[in-house]
Amino acid sequence: MSSTPRWCAEARRDGRARSVPSPKNWSRPQVKHAPPKKEARPQGGSAPPTQRKASPPKQVTPLVSLPSIVSVHDLARILRVHMRKLQFRMEQIGFDDTRPDRLLKLEDAELIAAEYNIMVATKQDSELDIYPRPAPTPEERATLPLRPPVVTIMGHVDHGKTTLLDTLRSTSVAAGEAGGITQHIGAFSVPVKRPEGAISSVTFLDTPGHAAFSTMRSRGSSVTDIVVMVVAADDSVMPQTREVISLVRGDDRHVPLVVAITKVDAPKADPQRVRYDLCAEGIDVEDLGGDVPCVEVSAKQGIGLDALDETLAVMAEMAELRAETSGMAEGRILESRVEKGRGNVATVLVQRGSLASGDVIVCGTTWAKVKQLMQPDGRATKQVLPGYAAQVAGWRELPKAGDQFLGAPDEARGKRAVEYRQRIVKEQALLLDAEQIDEGRRRKAEADAQRERAEQLTRREMQRLQRAEEEGTMHAEAVAQAVRAQNVTEQEASETRAILPLILKADVSGTAEALAHTLAPIGNARAGVKIVSQGVGDLTESDVNVAHAVGAHVIGFHVKASKAIQTLAARMQPPVAVHCDDVIYRLMDHVTDQVARLLPPRDEMRVVGEAQVAQLFHIKQGSRRPPKCVAGCRVTNGVISRASEVRVLRGDDRHEVFRGKLDTLRQVKKDVAEMRKGTECGMSFDGFDGLQVDDQIQCFTMVQVPASLHSSTS
């Protein structure tokens, strides 16, 4: 053992001067020891106590809090992990994009944190929301009271749905619809006689038949108990008829179906043909051995209405439709709109519980304290029970058609639920924005990489061309210009697409939704539509100002543009286009025309004359020049003009072998400017001598015509 004092060794290692005490003053340092603890002797014995081993420290899982959106860079900082290591770990678990600015959803961030044994704290605030009550058990359901059935009338446009309902409720609604076409869902209840004489109510839904309203028909079928599919006896199965069949077949609830053959009094009515056509579509009617009831009716003559009532009553009894008539209400929004003097109004269908004036209901991200409760015919009511529809006024914001509404115990509870839902919607919007931002960044990175590769290829190509030019094998500058022109053309083609922005306004939210779904797909690869916004109510000054700011057209459906709004739109620089209509297919045609106008005019070939090659002549042009080929032709159509362009077509497929100009056009030996149908002439072509007998010669001009979406390149 070394005799060097420890402090000397430490001094040498430190390399610093230290004060050293004098040897005579050296002494052992005085260390104060704590008095030994007395071990507690176990009672009842003198055995020495056993040594207690220290337990290992417990593993504590780190807990962090993460936002709903976090970048890779911020996640590395929160987890206290080096960026490169985090990116490597992300690649190991399957992430392709590990850029520091990539935005991650909370679920992805939790997955990455779990790789480092780090837990993410989550907020348990879902109890703030309101949920439907549990479904009753079969035993409980058997004790509930019966409710009226909800019957949806569906079918092709103008097959008599609304007229049939008019007759059932003895009112006239069809005359008020634009073009006789139902534009939104109507709901009302009518008394129906049962076979044994009892009176029961049936709630009818009248859904649109036009192709644009498929979303609204789907919504109607989702709340219905029985579907009545109307088929005109003089028109049989049509596209919307097939759509109704697919809706009924695709419904997991197996909604019963009744076929009503309408217009049996029409001159060309053929009900039996309708039955066979339905069988071909898979609908086996009772008259042909199936199980689907089929009733022949005429709404105008009142034929078969009693039979239809009895059929619906029997099917409702067999369905055993029951629901709670007490407790907070639950149901669906059929349509919503803004009414002058009443504000935001929604037509609702109560499915469970009861709805009364003063109740608080929540739907989506809005709520209402029921101020007015009115029946569909406009009469006030105090309470609405399951199976009935009503108009509810008092909404803070317009609810969306098709959404579920739930009753709340009080106003404060309803507000908390709406605030929670609004926060969830905002978080989902942030997630969507993050995905779009990531997608945009990814596309930009790909475009930059592609541009870099193109530039490298162009540089290499230019170097190759320069070498070729030096060797004299080709003209490098001409080919280089072609390469650059091709790059510019491809870039312009990929980056340009004409867009027509639209601001949509409609009378009810369901119609606005259907209108947006109908207009959004209009267009092709070169031009299309972008829905800037959609709303409910008449056109306002704000709509015109927004349209002017973004260069949009304003489209109104079942709404009006006042003279003041029209004047304001016309005075804008540039003017704002405003178009309102009550029939949706006219709006579709208008928007299609406006989108087509965004496309540049296209060149169209118009043939002005045709001729047939009957004989070939080879005219000598001297000893040093080859003979010139002259075609003896007969003009078969139109006019052949020397100033116009021509093309030569050959074979049964009429493929083009030459396009260019005429060199000579002669009749016998006289040069002429044009030749008409029925005459014979000789002609030769500038730079083309490969004519054959029976070739067809067309004389044409190129004209510019307005582009259409179908004729343009898609």
Give the residue-averaged pLDDT of 263-268: 88
pLDDT for the residue 183: 43
Give one DSSP letter per residue of 566-604, joined into a string.
Answer: HHHHHHSSSPPPEEEES-HHHHHHHHHHHHHHTSPPEEE
Give, in degrees to the nearest 5, the angle at Cα 504 between 541 and 394: 75
CA distance 584 to 591: 11
State what percent of residues in the chain have pLDDT above 90: 25
- pLDDT at site 511: 77
Using alpha carbons, select from 365, 373, 371, 372 the residue that is nearest to residue 414: 365
Residue 494 has pLDDT above 60, yes or no: no
711 and 602 in contact (C-beta within 8 Å)? yes
What does the alpha-carbon distance between residue 633 and residue 681 come to, in Å, rounded to a whole number? 5
Rounded Cα gap, residues 249 and 243, in angstroms: 10
Cis peptide before 574 (omega within 30 of 0): yes
What are the two backbone dihedrals, phi and then psi, of residue 448, each rounded to the nearest 5 degrees?
Answer: -65, -45
pLDDT digits (tens, 9 = 90+) for 186-223: 677 877 666 554 447 788 876 554 443 445 445 554 67
Q: What is the mean pLDDT of the chain?
A: 79
Nearest to 520 by CA among 604, 587, 618, 436: 587
Torsion of CA 279, 207, 591, 536, to 10 degrees: -160
Three-state secondary-structure class, residue 500: strand
Helix (H) or strand (E) holding 166: helix 161-169
pLDDT digits (tens, 9 = 90+) for 443-471: 777 777 877 877 777 677 667 656 665 55
User: Which residue, 447, 425, 443, is CA-closest to 435?
Assistant: 443
Tell me the β-bridge partners of 366. Answer: 363
- Report the alpha-carbon distance of residue 488 to residue 454 in Å, rounded: 11
Q: Looking at residue 653, what is its pLDDT?
A: 86
More confident residue, 35 or 332: 332
Which pLDDT tens digit goes with each residue over 514-561? 788 888 888 888 888 988 888 888 898 888 888 888 888 999 988 888
Residue-level pLDDT at 413 = 93
Residue with the bigger pLDDT between 621 and 225: it is 225
pLDDT (tens digit per residue) in 659-712: 999 989 998 888 899 999 999 999 998 888 888 899 999 999 988 887 777 655
The 10s digit of each residue's pLDDT in 270-293 is 999 999 999 998 898 988 888 899
Q: Percentage of the chain with pLDDT > 70? A: 76
- For 495-506, the pLDDT digits (tens) are 567 889 999 998
Please give the pLDDT value at position 45: 46
The β-bridge relationship of strands 294-296 and 226-232 is unpaired
One-letter amino acid for residue 524 of the chain: N
Question: Is the per-residue pLDDT at 359 higher than 70?
Answer: yes
Q: Are 660 and 645 in contact (CB under 8 A)?
A: yes
- Flag whether pLDDT at 618 surpasses 90: no
User: What pTM, to 2 d.p., does this model score?
Assistant: 0.56
Q: Is 449 helix (H, G, I), strand (E, B) or coil?
A: helix
Nearest-angstrom CA–CA distance, 501 and 595: 10
pLDDT in tens, 396-413: 999 988 889 999 999 999
